[in-house]
Structure 1
Amino acid sequence: MRKLISIALFCLSTTISQAAGIKLVNIPPDANGPALRAIVWTPCAAAAREIPIGPYVLSGRRDCPTVGARLPLIVISHGHTGSFLNHHDIAERLADAGFVVAAINHPGDSFSDKSRQADISVFVERPTDITRLIDYMLDRSPDAAKIDPESIGFFGFSRGGYTGLVLAGGNPDFLDANVPCPDPKLPICQQIERKEVPTGPLAHDARIKAYVLADPLDEFPTSASLKDVKAPIQLWASQFGGDGVLPETMPALAHALPQSPEFHVVPGAAHFAFLAPCPKELTKDAPALCVDAKGFDRVAFHEQFDEKVLGFFRAKLH
């Protein structure tokens, strides 16, 4: 009966939501890490408006009251020196459909704080950042009472995908992973060369019930490093890869997982095709992130991508 009521409430929330409510949040520092800057999208009954934030124009309503109850929660982890806005289109789509969505800027490895982007410490701390985000959303956020703690999903891109695999139970093997080192002078390359890598388990989080991983950085070279990953996974791979993600590692990762993922390869796509379509000014300032190969339509791809992500979470979180 409880499950039937939860499904009914979820369906109700998807019908009355018209837009994504958008809140900017500061999560205080604690014993496990520094302050986190976050953005939260929620189901909202008001009509959407354009909201400029940084280089992006979001679709939603600022500080709109959250509608619905026992709502599923999706947490998002961005890639190398990325932003909590990098996947705003997926967040808006999920919130419009009745999900609460929360994303952070990872300390030391974001567009606004690159202080440890090339240090192995960020690979240790990223999963803990997400665990702290979930703690906040369930315990102290304004929407805590509206979230179903049994229905939590994760979306991660690139290093964010690595983050998800750790949270799901994976134990990285930095010494043997098929990840190219772009410059031997980088701290992380020197740390790996000196075998100064974490040996203890990193933060796993059994509260997360389903994962969508887009071109994850694969620091898991063997099935043994993934043997404890049991949650369902939707795995996406670009045809050409990039930023340390090799095209051949994605099929290998899919094969190494103990349960076969829902696996999609995107023809004609390079690594950054998974980022939200760029506005004109950002395309001008960051063409490497925004300009795709000739013939690849990022806008059209994201219409399909966002819908498949939504369908997966709807099927796995209930």
Structure 2
Amino acid sequence: MGVEERLHFGLKTLLSIYMRKERLKMRLFFIVSVVLILVLPAHASNVGFEQIKISNGNGPPLVGGIWYPTDAPATEHGFGTFKQIVAQGGPIHGQGLPLVVLSHGGGGSFESNYDTAWALAQAGFVTAAISHAGDTHDDQSQVLHPWLRTAQLHQLISYMLKDWPGHDRLNNDHIGAFGFSNGGFTVLVAAGGVPDFSKIGSYCQAHPTHDLCQSLRQVGVDPSLITAISADKWVGDKRIKALVVAAPAFGFTFSPGGLAAVHLPIQLWRAAKDGHQPDPYYEEAVRLALPRPPEYNVVTNAGHYDFLPPCEARLARINPVICVDPSNFDRAAFHTSFNADVVRFFLANLR
């Protein structure tokens, strides 16, 4: 074989090897694309919304709301003290959708963290929240019975998986929980935490001016008389696989043993200027007690209520306490990044 023939043969060989590699790359690209299509639920462009009522034994039904992905046209709707752009009653889009349940702060309602619920639904999650009976803005009759909250959250999950008309669209193994303030405490208990409420007495003896201690005395409760609550009162829910916890109430009541069973991935948030639940007795106590280090975020210049959405004018008039921000803090800008981080965390841990 001459030099020219050998050169021609070598080029053909190299070209053949190159083409085989390119075909292999294309096949791999096709396989990966198919896997992604099969694994990841398709995102809808809009958010659907519906209000629900859940049976609550002998008491009035639990009132709630569900946000979910939809392709239906969305328009602005007013709900209580806020407005949101949703397709009310629109059809659900997607299959095998992850579920996130939300637990609001003390004196709130299922609407309290609506912007976070909306952001999760826009990202392909179904989000559901209830107004915790006895700890809402119009009914504080059960605020000293926080174990009822975890039982109600358990009811919400069961309703979503069994009785909600769209339950067959959910992935029962991909369930997360989000909680703010009293709701943060609620989801920690739901994940297996067992608090020791007998610690409230010594806490208030050492910190009588803290909000919790003053609030208890205002309603005629002597903190020193609060005793430990039987462990069987706290209802855990092993269906929950990941938590986002913002400014959790009663953090100091969790000893390391009290959170020993909580091995879930957790995103924990603290407001640097939280005068309502001062550091280090709340988030820091939880962080140190968790057996698995959480993803921990401290929000510079933020106050306790900055984990709630920016207030519209009507709410600011009705309840200015939760609407006034510390100086040099932009709540609207924070919620853009906060909701994006919450979505990122649940995407990483529920899919």
Tell me the TM-score normalised to structure 1 length.
0.91
Q: Which residue of 2 aligns with 1:237?
A: 270
2:252, 2:285 within 8 Å by CA — same for their partners in 1? no
Shift in CA distance, 9/215, structure 1 to aligned 2, threshold 3 Å: farther
Shift in CA distance, 5/162, structure 1 to aligned 2, threshold 3 Å: farther
- Name whichever structure is richer in helix by fraction: 2
Structure having greater relative contact order (Cα 8 Å, sep ≥ 6): 1
State the alpha-carbon separation in 2 of the partners of residues 188 and 232 from structure 1: 39
Q: Which residue of 2 aligns with 1:298?
A: 331
State the alpha-carbon separation in 2 of the partners of residues 256 and 200 from structure 1: 18
State the alpha-carbon separation in 1 of the partners of residues 35 and 138 from structure 2: 39
Tell me the TM-score normalised to structure 2 length.
0.83
> Do structure 1's residue 147 and structure 2's residue 170 form an aligned pair?
yes
Shift in CA distance, 141/242, structure 1 to aligned 2, threshold 3 Å: farther
Q: Which residue of 1 aligns with 2:184?
A: 161
Cα deviation for residue 47 of structure 1 reads: 3.2
Q: Which residue of 2 aligns with 1:247?
A: 279
Q: Which residue of 2 aligns with 1:135?
A: 158
Q: Secondary structure at the match of 2:327?
A: coil
1:94-109 map, 5 Å: 94-109=120-135
State the alpha-carbon separation in 1 of the partners of residues 136 and 45 from structure 2: 31
Q: Which residue of 2 aligns with 1:170?
A: 193
Match 1:49 to one of 75, 78, 83: 75
Shift in CA distance, 195/283, structure 1 to aligned 2, threshold 3 Å: closer
Q: Any stretches of 5+ residues in structure 2 without a counterpart?
A: 1-32, 205-211
State the alpha-carbon separation in 1 of the partners of residues 158 and 122 from structure 2: 23
Shift in CA distance, 248/38, structure 1 to aligned 2, threshold 3 Å: same
2:252, 2:286 within 8 Å by CA — same for their partners in 1? no
Q: Which residue of 1 aligns with 2:20?
A: none
> Do structure 1's residue 200 and structure 2's residue 261 form an aligned pair?
no
2:195 aligned partner, one-letter code: P
Match 2:48 to one of 2, 12, 21: 21
1:232, 1:259 within 8 Å by CA — same for their partners in 2? yes
Match 1:11 to one of 3, 24, 40: 40
- Count of matched residue positions in the alignment of Structure 1 and Structure 2: 307
Shift in CA distance, 73/6, structure 1 to aligned 2, threshold 3 Å: farther
Of structures 1 and 2, the larger Rg is shown by 2
Q: Which residue of 2 aligns with 1:65?
A: 91
**What RMSD over aligned residues (CA atoms) do the two structures have, in Å?**
2.0
Cα deviation for residue 59 of structure 1 reads: 1.7
Could you tell me the percent identity over the aligned residues? 36
1:202-217 map, 5 Å: 202-217=234-249
State the alpha-carbon separation in 1 of the partners of residues 34 and 128 from structure 2: 25
2:102, 2:178 within 8 Å by CA — same for their partners in 1? yes
2:41, 2:97 within 8 Å by CA — same for their partners in 1? no
1:109 aligned partner, one-letter code: D
Q: Which residue of 2 aligns with 1:270?
A: 303
Q: Secondary structure at the match of 1:13?
A: coil
Shift in CA distance, 130/221, structure 1 to aligned 2, threshold 3 Å: closer
Shift in CA distance, 163/9, structure 1 to aligned 2, threshold 3 Å: farther
Alpha-carbon displacement from aligned partner over 1:149-179 (angstroms, at most 9, x marks no partner): 1000000000000001101111011111547
Larger mean Cα displacement after TM superposition, 124-133 or 33-42: 33-42
2:280 aligned partner, one-letter code: E
1:279-290 map, 5 Å: 279-290=312-323
Shift in CA distance, 313/124, structure 1 to aligned 2, threshold 3 Å: same
> Do structure 1's residue 75 and structure 2's residue 101 form an aligned pair?
yes
Q: Which residue of 2 aligns with 1:316?
A: 349
Q: Which residue of 1 aligns with 2:138?
A: 112
1:193 aligned partner, one-letter code: S
State the alpha-carbon separation in 2 of the partners of residues 5 and 189 from structure 1: 61
